[in-house]
Structure 1
Amino acid sequence: MLRVFSQYFPSHTLQQIVFDASVLFVAVLLAVAFQVHGTTVDWRVIVPSALLFAAVMIVLNSALGLYRSTSSDGSVRSTTARVLVSILVSIPLAFGVFSVLPWNYFASEAMQISVVLLLGLVLLMRGVVNRHRATSAFAPRVLIIGTGPEAAAVARSLGSPAQGGMEIVGFYPSGNEDSIDVDPAQIVSGDHGLLEAVRQRRVHDVIVAVKERRGGVLPIRELLDCKLRGVCVMDLSSFFERAKGQVRIDSLKASWLIYGDGFRQGLARSAVKRCFDLIASGTLLVVALPAMLLTAVLIVLEDGAPVFYRQERVGQRGRVFRVIKFRSMRRDAEKDGKPRWASSGDDRVTRVGRVIRRLRIDELPQLFNVLSGEMSLVGPRPERPYFVDQLEREIPFYAVRHSVKPGVTGWAQVRYQYGASVDDAIQKLQYDLYYVKNHNLVLDTLVLFETVRVVLTGEGAH
């Protein structure tokens, strides 16, 4: 795992990005060489331009989620949708990049088309390859401390394609676990101590997958010796943060929230985020205005007024505000006055409502909440007070998500399908906590790009 701007990326992902960018860079240079036929070319202009073109294209598709690995049994539909979104967004942008680069004096239309076709081929191949297990030339060797259910969960996560084939060299028993939930053949003998096991197996990372760490069950001194010798040592919370982009509730302790890094809500960070919200939401409102006007007309034609519905939601620091959305349900959706989770295939949703929910158009009026300062463009999804009271009683640390403004879109929304239960709320909270801990302009931009992918592919629509 490599950390860039507080975000963690598997090493194999960065290798893929560098490889694909290099292919595009070389392709542009070859296209230029074949195009000019001996004519003098200022390579001092061509080389930086080709590098910029390759970097823009690959970074764009990284943000759109093309390099985020799926499981090996991922559906063909999901893979196809990702590739199509990447191609549909990249090709028009590629021609736009061509128009601003200093290539006009030599770049023919045939050359530009050739480069764009190669770009499409690279994206297509990358999408197909990412359906299968990815491997890294520098896959770290991992030793897991523990043999119980927590260790098994870590092993399952490390065995997923998204982790780039990190090699598990064994499980080191902690001494306080009653059950063995891992392969007994992979349990490492502790007769010679942890440090010796790390040396013999050339371990790069040690993951402490033990839920109960009191009572001297962990070899603290040897863990310190491992760290001092350059071995990365992490606990369950840190592992899931890096590997899954979430802060796991079942392995979370208040001390980790208090003493760990992140969770800073400084004035400078808030000011940058507010400026970003104002510029981005204002731009989106102008761009989306035709779609919003059409939606309003269709809602009135099908089910009459009102076009919008306003509902109380819990915002930053627990303050209640009224969110604005396009009405996608019947006017009598909650005629009994009892709040209910919206569900997949909900019969209260109108025909127009189904379409605007799938395309996320119903969320667009929330941009007015962003302009007024009640919401942010990116942040945890605001919930109704009725559900917040219930969830705060049942889920530890749920109130932490209210330390930042709620968002129109968020890390949980692009990483987890739509949820309509307490269990789903727990899963989404784990992503919300990651966002609260690590949010910055880079993560916000990444979420917005992934939101585009989610909207265009219809992932998680309800």
Structure 2
Amino acid sequence: MESGKGKPKPIFWRLRPSERQAILLIGDMLVGFLALAISIVIWSQEDWLRLSFSFLTERTPAWFFLAPFIWMLLTIELYDVRRASRRSETLKGVAIAAGVSLGLYLLFYFTSEPNSLPRRGVSVFILAVSLLILMWRFIYIRVFTAPVFMRRVLIIGAGRSGENLVQVIDSIWPLPFYLVGLIDDDPAKQNMKYGNHPVLGSSQQLLEIIERERITDLVFAISGEMNPAMFQAVLTAEERGVEVTTMPLVYEELLGRVPILLLQSDWILRSFVDQAHTNNFFEMAKRLMDIIGGLIGCIGLALLYPFIAVLILLDDGAPVLYSQERLGKNGKPYQIIKFRTMVKDAEKDGKARVAVKNDSRVTRVGRLLRKSHLDELPQFWSVLRGEMSLVGPRAERVELVNSLQTKVPFYRARLFVKPGLTGWAQVNYGYAETVEDTIVKLEYDLYYIKHRNLMLDLLIIFRTAGTVFGLRGQ
């Protein structure tokens, strides 16, 4: 089989998710600086200096030139290519960013010296960047989500992994790519359909199907042994410029989760341990971020404690705080401290129970504290002490961990890192009331542990801030 024969020309306009994110980033940056220029021009019209070098150096504060980057941080959720492809999500994200920008500006405006902040410049920037970003993002949705820019994908393997992946793809809208069909060497699966996606043939027809259907990507979803003919056909396809990736990686990319029910029992040792290690720079930067966040949180706790304590005492009496043993990094136990949100003796029989949505044990004030996440404030002390981090998996009780590790595969792997005040699972999923819910949350936790970095931590913190300000806690 000659690998060079019939080599297809690369199709440059079939965009990968990373390329879509790059387009969004570049477009937002250009629009942000255009909005900055517009705001400076309009602002300068009220000053006798007009727009000049003197105006830029004497009247414009240095932080004002960072406005486009601050805006991009506030809209960080819109760099998820699925969200960016939906008009409703785009409108919602821009509206929230504009509201938070205005709120932050007013906070600084009323706490700073009179006439020390550029009112006209800031108001024009917020208005200009909001409108221009909406125009640009709607153009992106109109142009870059068109079929001509979508990658054409073929799944190798129509077994359990392949079928599960088809279900995942069909559950996502807008479609992440165009799934042409599947390939399998099992004669019993020929001409079968999974959803609307047919099994197009076997390894013997793979190269012909790739050329005929203009396939850009192959997703390898065979968990057992692979027939040598299939192996050779996939290698030849890769040599001809077709991108080959595996089902777990595509699953992670599409859902932000690790498919724990589709992985081999030795996955932890073969893959996860190596991928979960980070470098010293990240660990130092994360600890510095925890110390700064812990100090800010403890200051907030000191300021709000008297008011929250009075509300709890009036509603349900003492105690105001409660402590409980939880498992930290590597299974080391520590005492967690929170404001009490449940009735006294919530577990009279001594049996550990997970909190559920609309839990009847939660008091009236407790419900408000949970929705605003103010019940978590005392945990900033644990962050400062190094027992917790700002971002990480939720800390669980010893009894629950011992119970769940017998029912959920890889459950103890979440103890590889420090527990967090907030985390990837918390911002993507609600309470885990069943074993099935726990599996989904663990998939998010393991994804975070594998991919954690400072940008992901910042994304989680910003999303948590949106939940807090919107009172969307549980």
User: For this structure pair, what is the TM-score category when the shorter chain's length is used for normalisation?
Assistant: 0.7 to 0.9
For 1:204-215, list aligned pairs within 5 A: 204-210=216-222, 212-214=223-225
How far apart are residue 149 of structure 1 and its match?
Answer: 5.2
1:348 partner SS: coil
1:407 alignment partner in structure 2? 420
Report the RMSD for the aligned CA atoms in angstroms. 4.0
**Which digits, 9 at most, give the CA deviation of each residue in 1:360-412, with x for residues without a partner?**
11111111111222211111111111111111111111111111111111111
Describe the SS at the equivalent of 1:408.
strand
Contact 1:140 1:205 in 2 (8 A): yes
State the match for 2:257 in structure 1. Answer: 246
- 2:124 maps to what in 1? 114
Q: By how many angstroms is 1:209 displaced?
A: 2.7
Question: What is the rounded CA distance, in whole Å, between the counterparts of 1:176 and 1:289 in structure 2?
Answer: 69
Given the alignment, which residue of 309, 314, 328 partners 2:322?
A: 309
TM-score (norm 1): 0.82
> What is the alpha-carbon distance in structure 2 between the residues aligned to residue 133 and residue 158 of structure 1?
22
TM-score (normalised: structure 2): 0.80
Q: Distance in 2 between matches of 1:380 and 1:114?
A: 40
How far apart are residue 163 of structure 1 and its match? Answer: 6.4
| Partner Cα separation in structure 1 for residue 209 and residue 43 of structure 2 | 59
Aligned pair 1:166/2:177, yes or no?
yes
Structure 2 unaligned residues grouped into runs of 5+: 1-15, 110-114
Q: Which residue identity does 2:254 align to in structure 1?
A: A
AA partner of residue 215 (structure 2): V
- Structure 1 residues 27 and 341: CA distance shift in structure 2, 3 A: closer
Shift of residue 14 of structure 1?
A: 4.0
Structure 1 window deviating more from structure 2 (401-410 vs 435-444): it is: 435-444
Measured in 1, the distance between the counterparts of 2:142 and 2:349 equals: 49
Q: Distance in 1 between matches of 2:51 and 2:378?
A: 55
Aligned residues: 444
Q: 1:284 & 1:131 partners in 2: Cα distance?
A: 39
In structure 1, give the amino acid aligned to 2:363.
T
Residues 269 and 237 of structure 1: is their aligned pair in 2 closer, same or farther, counting only changes over 3 Å?
same
- Look up the SS of the partner of 2:218 in the other structure: strand
- The residue that corresponds to 2:208 in the other structure is 196
- In terms of mean alpha carbon deviation, does 127-136 or 161-170 score higher? 127-136
Superimposed CA distance per residue, residues 38-91 of structure 1 (whole angstroms, 9 cap, x where no aligned partner): 966459979x999843233123211x55756459999x8x88865543222123
Displacement of 1:216:
2.6
Stretch moving more, 440-449 or 147-156 = 147-156
Pick the aligned partner of 2:285 from 241, 252, 272: 272
Q: CA deviation at 1:290?
A: 2.4
* Greater shift in the superposed pair: 223-232 or 334-343: 223-232
2:387 is the alignment partner of 1:374:
yes
Give CA-to-partner distance per residue, 1:404-449, whole Å, 9 cap, x none: 1111111111111222221111000001111111222222222111
Residues 185 and 203 of structure 2 are in contact (CA less than 8 Å); yes or no, is this contact kept in structure 1?
A: no
- The AA in structure 1 aligned to 2:366 is G
Native 8 Å contact 1:146 1:209 kept in 2:
yes
Q: For residue 322 of structure 2, give the secondary structure of its aligned residue in structure 1.
A: strand
Instruction: Provide the residue aligned with 2:313 in structure 1.
Output: 300
Q: What is the aligned counterpart of 2:74 among 60, 63, 66?
A: 60
What residue ranges of structure 1 are gaps of 5+ in the alignment?
Answer: 1-7, 99-103
Aligned counterpart, 1:25: 33
Deviates further, 284-293 or 182-191? 182-191
Give the secondary structure class of the aligned counterpart of 2:276. Answer: coil
- State whether structure 2 residue 352 is matched by structure 1 residue 339: yes
Report Cα offsets for 1:288-336 as digits up to 9, x if no partner. Answer: 4323332122111211111111111111111222211111001121112
Secondary structure in structure 2 of the residue aligned to 1:193: helix
The CA deviation at 1:203 is 2.3
Question: Contact conserved, 2:44 with 2:50, CA < 8 A, in 1?
Answer: yes
The answer on whether the counterparts of 2:31 and 2:129 sit within 8 Å (CA) in structure 1 is: no
Encode CA deviations 1:115-144: one digit per residue, 9 max, x unaligned. 321233356678999999981674222111
The residue that corresponds to 2:4 in the other structure is: none
Matched residue type, 2:207: L
The answer on 1:319 being equivalent to 2:332 is: yes
Instruction: Name the CA shift for 1:197/1:128 in 2 (closer, same or farther; >3 Å).
Output: closer
SS of the residue 2:290 aligns to: helix
SS where residue 291 of structure 1 aligns? Answer: helix
- Please tell me the residue identity of whatever aligns with 1:61: T
Aligned-partner residue type, residue 56 of structure 1: I
Relative to structure 1, the CA distance from residue 71 to residue 61 in structure 2 (aligned partners, 3 Å threshold; closer, same or farther) is closer
**Cα 1:357–1:9, aligned 2, differ >3 Å: closer, same or farther?**
farther
